């Protein structure tokens, strides 16, 4: 079985990094693409979590806190949405979360190249644990596509 202590930090780093790079487009078409990519990404996450409890927890949080947003709200909303769920998980495990104000300095400076390495690390972990047996390959493919689409639509440093 997969160890959440190993795959969890990679998944959280991917999520928080995506959030920090949202909301910087100035062209309407690109804004729409980014918003659509974010919506697909946020919905795909629950299907690739290898831990049943994690899937349930995320799905409940998504159901209770997800809302329709406009592009100008995207970055702040996404940061708060994922920070709050991450913080609630950390509290359950008696782990102190980084301050919300530290998200930008922690994840905002991650470059596109570094982010690509995170995606590769994520894929390697899934292969290492043979999670393809627990998650349909099509589901994993769709999640990776959602990450790549979001990465492509965001503005990177």
Taking only the tens of pLDDT, the chain with its 157 residues reads: 667 888 889 999 999 999 999 998 888 988 999 999 999 999 989 888 878 888 899 999 999 998 999 999 999 999 999 999 999 999 999 999 999 999 999 999 999 899 999 999 988 887 776 666 667 778 888 888 888 888 777 766 5
Q: How far apart are CA 19 and CA 107, in angstroms?
A: 9
Count of beta carbons in the 10 Å neighbourhood of residue 75? 19
The two structure tokens encoding residue 21: 């790079």
Specify the DSSP class assigned to residue 50: S
The two structure tokens encoding residue 53: 């409890």
Count of beta carbons in the 10 Å neighbourhood of residue 137? 10
Confidence (pTM): 0.88
Residue in 18, 12, 47 with CA at minimum distance from that of residue 150: 18
Q: How far apart are CA 132 and CA 127, in angstroms?
A: 7
pLDDT at 157: 54
pLDDT at 130: 63
CB-based burial label for 127 (10 Å; 0-12, 13-18, 19+): exposed
Specify the DSSP class assigned to residue 109: T
CB-based burial label for 51 (10 Å; 0-12, 13-18, 19+): middle
């Amino acid at each position: 079985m997969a160890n959440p202590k190993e795959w969890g930090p990679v998944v959280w780093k991917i999520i928080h990094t995506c959030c920090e790079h949202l909301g910087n487009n100035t062209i309407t078409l690109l804004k729409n693409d980014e918003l659509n990519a974010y919506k697909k990404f946020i919905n795909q996450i629950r299907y690739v979590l290898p831990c049943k409890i994690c899937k349930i927890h995320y799905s409940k949080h998504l159901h209770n806190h997800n809302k329709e947003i406009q592009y100008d709200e995207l970055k702040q909303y996404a940061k708060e949405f994922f920070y709050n769920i991450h913080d609630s998980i950390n509290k359950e495990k008696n782990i102190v979360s980084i301050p919300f104000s530290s998200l930008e300095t922690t994840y905002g400076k991650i470059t596109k190249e570094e982010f690509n390495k995170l995606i590769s690390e994520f894929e390697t972990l899934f292969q290492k644990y043979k999670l393809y047996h627990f998650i349909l390959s099509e589901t994993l493919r769709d999640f990776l596509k959602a990450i790549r689409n979001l990465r492509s639509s965001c503005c990177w440093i």
